[in-house]
Amino acid sequence: MSIDQLAETAQAMVAPGKGIIAIDESTATIKKRFDGVGIECTEENRRAYREMLLTTPKLGDYISGAILYDETLRQSTKAGVPFTKVMMDAGILPGIKVDMGAKPLAGFPGELVTEGLDGLRDRLKEYGRLGARFAKWRAVITIGEDMPSGTCIDANCHALARYAALCQEAGIVPMVEPEVLMDGDHDIDTCYEITEVTLRSLFGALYEHNILLEGTILKASMVVSGKDCPEQAGIEEVAELTLRCLKSAVPATLPGIVFLSGGQSDEHATAHLNAMNQMGAKPWPLSFSYGRAMQSAALKLWSKDMAGNVKSAQDTVFARARDNGLAAMGQWKKG
């Protein structure tokens, strides 16, 4: 894929009023979700669930891409149509999660570094052949006593940059995700400070690794109060501080930013995005790349009758996509 094609794909990922659905849960993570609603975590049940999501009628009206797990990228509908064909026919770009998860950072108790660079070049070639147009790598930054360390931030951002370079070499758009976790009792100002430092480190590392920013997407966490903080910031404050933080640390040449929901409620994730998009001109489009905030209601419905509730579950997925698509334009209204 040429430089122009990388840029074109990145722009398509953040097309006006569209966002990305994250259905890239590992087998262990999807098992926890299935256990929570009483579904056995078999390969067929996972396939059927992903088919329900990806074949939602008119999903492409509000969804530009879907991040898949390795297993899902290789799967097909019950009728034998590869998921990647179903997606491309609906105007939805196939993406793939390529990291191997966050592991303890040696020498820094309580901190994590994401692994998965070994063998990534060959995996990316295969994913490209299977139809992946973009990839995702998630780094995890924990706020706590004397955390995060500069070493943890820089180690994760260095890995993100190496991953991004391998993606662009393979003609795949890298989505870089440095998630600052909501876990903890820290206030919103602490989250702002850590998020800004992390983003500055990330874009410094991307620059050092000769990353084409025009062919890169940032998946960002919002600046929010820790979930155990006694004082929770309101919708407008979250939107204002998140926007200020991004403007201070993210180059304007980036084609767009998509947000993760990161444990927020469905409504809060939508309301925060909507409020940001009502705050005037920005250097880049702001959209969404939600997982739980797109799927949780549909999963509960589908679990009650996997064969009989497909349509009602899909209606719920479409409604969440539509609400967040409107929020990406600043046009969502509660209720």
Q: Does residue 333 carry a catalytic annotation? A: no
Block residue for tokens 């098992």:
31
Task: Kindly name the residue from 18, 97, 136, 219 that is annotated as catalytic.
Answer: 219
Cβ count near 61 (within 10 Å): 14
Q: Does residue 219 carry a catalytic annotation? A: yes
Sign, Cα dihedral of 312, 94, 21, 292: positive
Give the span between the Cα atoms of 64 and 16, in whole angstroms.
Answer: 10
120 CB contacts (<8 Å, ≥6 apart)? 98, 163, 166
Task: Kindly name the residue from 25, 177, 179, 196 that is annotated as catalytic.
Answer: 177
Strand partners for 66: 21, 94
The amino acid at 191: C
Give the span between the Cα atoms of 219 and 259, in whole angstroms.
Answer: 5
Sign, Cα dihedral of 263, 69, 15, 317: negative
Can you read off the two tokens belonging to residue 49?
């669930």
Report the catalytic residues.
177, 219
